[in-house]
Amino acid sequence: GIQVEQSPPDLILQEGANSTLRCNFSDSVNNLQWFHQNPWGQLINLFYIPSGTKQNGRLSATTVATERYSLLYISSSQTTDSGVYFCAVSQAGTALIFGKGTTLSVSS
Amino acid sequence: EAGVAQSPRYKIIEKRQSVAFWCNPISGHATLYWYQQILGQGPKLLIQFQNNGVVDDSQLPKDRFSAERLKGVDSTLKIQPAKLEDSAVYLCASSRRDRRYNEQFFGPGTRLTVL
């Protein structure tokens, strides 16, 4: 099956810093999503991005499908950005396969 | 548009007891998924439904887990009897029936503790 690797596993930042999270996947996919899991366990959809670049406020994401990786950029981080960030992929019509996540801690 | 609804949010049971979780997907979403998330890991698929038919249940421990999706809308996941290792968050997700665009949306989850 498809393997999904996320890096770094843990990230500690001061408020206002920028960060880049990486997701590598082992096969071609039709779907790639980034999620933020908040302290209450809710998975919040950040981006649906099987290819290309998208931006939403302080967050942006880029997927290079031909090279099988995706990047999530967080600029001017805030304490509310803390939590676990998951990358997940799927092929046509199948369920998502998740990476192990990146745990982000932002301190004030 | 209402999101994916799940209940209960929390459940504590003794091992060997039974438990059931309920999920109501986003209106119009034909595909429904149940995932299990063990602490410190990413969610993993248990079962996938397309309308009321099973698409993938290869990872479902069928000796103790069962799931159904009546009339292609709501779904129920049951564990009987529960084991200590079933302690996890059970997440329900749904997506449109579209092989080219199948963004999945998740409910708040049910946190199960087996004592």
3-state secondary structure B35-57: EEECCCCCCEEEEEEECCEEEEC
Contact assignment for A95 to B33 by CB distance below 8 Å: yes
Q: Tens of pLDDT along B22-75?
A: 999 999 999 999 999 999 999 999 999 998 899 999 999 999 999 999 888 999
Least confident of A9-13, B71-75, B82-86: B71-75
User: B95 has which bridge partners?
Assistant: B31
A45 touches chain B (CB under 8 A): yes
How confident is the model at residue B99, as a pLDDT? 67
In Å, how far from its chain's centre is CA B88?
12
How confident is the model at residue B2, as a pLDDT? 85
Compute the CA torsion angle A88, A91, A93, A95 (nearest 10 deg): -30
Question: What's the token pair of residue A99?
Answer: 């990476």
